[in-house]
Amino acid sequence: MTFVLHRAERADVLAEVLAGILATPPADPFTQEVVAVHSRGVERWLAHRLSAHLGTSPGRADGVCAHLEFPFPGRLVQSALAEVTGLDPDADPWRPERLAWPLLDVVEANLHEPWLYVLAGHLGVGASPSSANEDDDLARRDRRFAAVRHLADLYDRYAVHRPAMVLAWNDGRDEDGDGHPLDPSVAWQAELWRRLRAAVGDPSPAERSADGCAALVAEPGLVDLPERLFLFGLTRLPASYFDVLEALAAHRDVHLLALHPSPAAWATDEQESLRHPLLRAWGRDSHEMGMVLRGRLATATHAATDDRHHPLPDETTADASLLHRLQAAIRADDPPDAAGARPALDPADRSLQVHACHG
């Protein structure tokens, strides 16, 4: 089976691509299709767009979007791993809200150890309070649980975005996941994680993911998922998610419909080499996703891969508005015109507006 990447600069183009695939029903017409989305707002918008394509009368947009499931991408990945590992995600001891309590015990037991001096200093442990700073030190000690809860969230994000780093820590190596040693100022996080792993006892998400992916490839029937899956409108994809999706694609078609602002930017690895300042400043997430996907598509081992760019429809009428020119420049990664070469603005052009607002 195949992992297919669909790229486009606009969400409506991706919606039409998705509708075209869904128009061909699965072998079992009662199969519920799965389309992962990153927000409920996107779910409502996408369902509305699909209803204008699926089941319509000739020449009309009177169709219906039905029998589709819209999970979040994280939930889709976690549910697949849960089915093959036998662990209910809601009972996972590594969920941040559960992990905070054993982590608090580990921190309390090691706060006076030399290797944990950075965290101890943050919490006001080991200081010599005077009348001038005693209240401040007491306040820092009182915020201990908040700091530990933040660390639990941090370890959870590491497992999602940097699983190779967590696996290196598990093997006793203080590395960043790419083979480079950790900076001494953050090396305490690796030692703290190892002591937390011993306290929890159960395998961490990064460990379970490797075993779960192997099980998905070996026994595809372990998960109750249809013969094809879709992920719509993503602008970022953590490395751990790709591992699971590639394993699923060994026996299913997995379609990732990704928004990417510029085909020109897709081909480069250097964010700073982009010429358009807005593309450099605002396109970082999609650029990093592009780097990850290009590398992973080239080295995928469990499934065939396909990278498809869907260009925008031809513009039948010339649009000289400021917004249109800006969008075209971002897509092509064209630098702004020199001050003397910029076209005059139409006073009636309201296509691009700047509003002052709170936040």
Rounded-to-integer distance, Cα 248 and Cα 239, Å? 15
pLDDT value, residue 189:
96
DSSP string covering 169-189:
HHTT--B-SSSPBPPTTTHHH
Q: What are phi and psi of 253, to 5 degrees?
A: -90, 120
Return phi, psi of residue 36, to 5°: -80, 135
pLDDT at 17: 97
**DSSP characters for 139-152?**
HHHHTHHHHHHHHH
Q: pLDDT value at position 131?
A: 43
- Kindly write down the DSSP assignment for every residue of 199-215, as one continuous string: HH-SPPHHHHHHHHHHH
pLDDT of residue 123: 84
Q: Check residue 315 and give its pLDDT.
A: 61
pLDDT of residue 135: 58
Beta-bridge mates of residue 232: 257
Residue with tokens 């849960």: 82
Q: What is the separation of C-alpha 29 from the centre of its chain, rounded to a whole number of angstroms?
A: 31
Q: pLDDT at position 336, please?
A: 86
Tens of pLDDT along the chain (359 residues) come to: 899 999 999 999 999 999 999 999 998 888 999 999 999 999 999 999 999 999 888 888 889 999 999 999 999 999 999 899 888 888 889 999 999 999 999 999 999 999 999 998 888 776 544 444 555 555 665 688 899 999 999 999 999 989 999 999 999 999 998 899 999 999 999 999 999 999 999 999 999 998 899 999 999 999 999 999 999 998 888 888 999 999 999 999 999 999 999 988 888 888 788 899 998 888 888 888 888 888 888 888 888 999 999 998 876 556 788 998 899 899 999 988 877 788 888 889 999 999 998 87
What distance in Å separates the CA atoms of residue 74 and residue 157, rounded to the nearest whole number?
12
Strand order in the sheet with 228-234: 68-69, 33-36, 228-234, 253-259, 2-8, 304-309
Q: What b-and-e string marks burial along 322-352, b requiring 16 or more CB atoms within 10 Å of the CB? A: eeebebebbbebeeeeeeeeeeeeeeeeeee
pLDDT score at 317: 53
Closest CA to 237 of 279, 315, 323, 296: 296
